[in-house]
Each structure stands twice: as C-alpha cells, then as structure tokens.
C-alpha cells in the first residue's frame, strides 16, 4: 500500500460523484424471504431446533440486492433480468416499485418460477435456508428478447458501467455475455463481473472480474492456500492474461482482497470486524468496485474501498445494502488517506 497516498478531499469527491452514475445490472434476481423467531427447545420429532416465528419479511435479492447497494451509494441502477409469471414474480415487481427501482429491464417469462430463498433465523443466527428455483438456462428466444431490451437501454441511456451479477440461475449465458461485452466496447462502457462456476470462463475481455476464493479455486480447478499470496497472484495473473481482463479483484474473506492488473499486484488485508452474517457481502463489493471503475479510480483504491464495504455489511444479520455515510466515514480513516 506504500504506492498510494490519497487526500481526504479526493475520497469525498469520489463518493459525491457516485450520485451522477447510471449502472446497468444484468443478472439473476430473487426474493430473499426471512422467517425470524426464537428457539427455546429441540423438536421431539427430530434433533432440530423449533423456531417460534415472531416475524416475516421479504426483500429484493440476488442481482436486485446489487441494485439496492448501487442505489444506497447514490447512483441510479437499471436492473435487467427475468421473473416468472407467478405470485412471487408479482411480489418481486411490487418490491421494486416500493424501492423506487425501474422495472424497464425486467422481462416476465411464463412457465418459469421466480427464485425465492427463504432463510430461517432463530436467536439472531441463520439455522436453515430453503431455495425454490429453476436453474435451467433461459431459451434462445428469451435470450434474444433480453438482448433486445439490454441493447435498447445501452443505446438510449447514459450507462457508465455494466455489472454482470451471475447466480447460476440460468439468465446469464455465454451468448448474452459475448453480445453485451461487444456492445459495451463499442460504447466505451466498462464491464464488471461477479461470476459463478458455470460461466467462469465465458467473460473474456471484461474490465473487472471479481470472484471470491472459492469461485477462483473451482473455476481454475486449483487448490491454492491464502497463506501463499505470491502463488495466488501468479495464478490470477495467468488467468487474467488468458481471459484478457483489465483487472482481477479476488475477495479472500477474512484475508482481505487481492487486486491484480498489468501494472499492479497488491494484497489488501481485511479489517478486523465482528462478523454477524456474510450474506450479500459480494453484492456490496461488486457495487463499490463497479462505481469506482466507472470513475476510473486507481486499482488499489478501488480494492481498498470494496474491501472495506464488504466487511461493513458482514456486521449486519441478513442481506442488507451498504450505508454510504458509514462507508465514507470508515474510508476517511484508511491508513493511506492524508489530510
């Protein structure tokens, strides 16, 4: 981190500039459903806790949580995705409306279930998750429909950065990726990716590629320990060059993040925090990283701010968007920030 010295005023300016950005988010959306309750005893029917429900809640999840983070950071998110023609799909659209998020990029598909993840939380700890979903790829006709929609938005709106938020639920296909990357390059729009295993090798030529360590290991079929950062950097460099990424940003949970580009390879340690729940941290990290990318921030600063944001949301139970004021307050305390 010796290479970086940033003035507080510059950080404040970056956070202020977030407000001028439009972000196109392409990815699998879902409903995050919560059952909150108390656990006082074990079931006589099986060795499992009995949760006495005290509250229920549904929230926007998946790529829609990225939209919430982008909105919380002051920028304008435009979400492109599919939902089913079902009660859950309608609930999702109602939640978008309630959050004042645009529905213009949402395609409704018959005979496809809207993804719902239900988390059962007892005594402030997650006990169980139930997933209702379809993981099959959307059809070629549906991909073409979605591409028409995405293309229209890119041509007619000022888009500052595109995020691919892949949850392996079938929305993002190699054809979709290739076409959107081609469109973005024509318009000079940076592309940022939060990948999953299935399409891991399909994101050739994107601006920023942000896997976590598990995804990197699965995608590269290697088992590298975080104890050997140099070896990890070499593997990331090799993959980055092969895939023609400008920058790779790899999150390492409690070990922080690695940023790797042609000019810079840096490991930024995590900040010591009281971790309550890691759900949704990756959504926050890609949101902050993408906004910084749109503003052409230096790679190390982008990585440091993204790293900070991921740690902050882990202090909250459940999937919650970042608090911009708190992130700014913490950012101003980073050791390379000068008066």
Burial of residue 250 (CB within 10 Å: 0-12, 13-18, 19+) is: buried
- Residues of the chain by 3-state class (helix, strand, coil), percent to 5: 40, 25, 35
**Measured between alpha carbons, how far is 30 from 134 in angstroms, rounded to an integer?**
11
Nearest to 289 by CA among 20, 23, 2, 101: 23
148, 75 Cβ separation under 8 angstroms: no
**Measured between alpha carbons, how far is 281 from 275 in angstroms, rounded to an integer?**
11
Cα separations in angstroms, 101 against 71, 72, 322: 9, 12, 17
Rounded to 5°, angle at Cα 202 from 201 and 208: 85
**Measured between alpha carbons, how far is 62 from 282 in angstroms, rounded to an integer?**
10
Burial of residue 320 (CB within 10 Å: 0-12, 13-18, 19+) is: buried
Q: Which residue shows structure tokens 């995608």?
A: 219
User: 3-state DSSP call for residue 234?
Assistant: helix
Catalytic site residue 283? Answer: yes
**Measured between alpha carbons, how far is 314 from 271 in angstroms, rounded to an integer?**
11
User: 3-state DSSP call for residue 49?
Assistant: strand
Catalytic residue selected from 283, 299, 323, 335: 283
Contacts with 94 (C-beta within 8 Å, 6 or more apart), sequence order: none
32: which 2 tokens?
Answer: 């995050």
**Measured between alpha carbons, how far is 218 from 223 in angstroms, rounded to an integer?**
8
For the annotated catalytic residues, the residue numbers are: 283
């Amino acid at each position: 981190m010796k290479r970086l010295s940033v003035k507080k005023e510059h950080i404040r300016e970056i956070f202020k500039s977030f407000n001028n950005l439009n972000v196109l988010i392409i990815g699998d959306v879902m409903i995050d459903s919560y059952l909150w309750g108390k656990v006082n005893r074990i079931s006589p029917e099986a060795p499992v806790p009995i949760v006495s429900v005290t509250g229920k809640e549904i929230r926007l999840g998946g790529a829609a949580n990225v939209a919430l983070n982008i909105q919380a950071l002051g920028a304008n998110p435009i979400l492109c995705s599919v939902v089913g023609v079902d009660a859950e799909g309608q609930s999702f659209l109602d939640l978008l409306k309630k959050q004042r998020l645009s529905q213009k990029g949402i395609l409704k598909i018959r005979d496809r279930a809207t993804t719902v993840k239900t988390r059962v939380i007892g005594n402030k700890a997650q006990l169980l998750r139930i997933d209702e979903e379809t993981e099959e790829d959307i059809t070629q006709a549906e991909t073409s429909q979605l591409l028409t929609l995405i293309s229209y938005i890119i041509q007619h709106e000022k888009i500052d950065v595109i995020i691919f938020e892949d949850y392996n639920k079938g929305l993002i296909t190699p054809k979709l990726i290739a076409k959107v990357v081609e469109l973005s390059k024509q318009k000079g729009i940076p592309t940022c990716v939060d990948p999953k295993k299935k399409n891991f090798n399909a994101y050739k030529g994107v601006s920023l590629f942000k896997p976590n360590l598990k995804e990197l290991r699965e995608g590269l079929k290697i088992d590298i320990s975080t104890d050997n950062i140099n070896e990890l950097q070499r593997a990331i460099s090799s993959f980055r060059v092969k895939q023609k990424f400008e920058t790779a940003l790899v999150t390492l949970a409690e070990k922080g993040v690695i940023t790797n580009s042609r000019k810079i390879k840096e490991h930024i340690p995590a900040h010591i925090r009281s971790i309550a729940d890691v759900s949704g941290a990756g959504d926050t990290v890609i949101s902050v990283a993408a906004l910084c990318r749109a503003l052409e921030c230096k790679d190390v600063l982008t990585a440091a701010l993204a790293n900070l944001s991921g740690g902050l949301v882990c202090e909250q139970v459940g999937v919650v968007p970042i608090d911009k004021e708190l992130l700014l307050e913490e950012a101003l305390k980073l050791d390379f920030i000068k008066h």
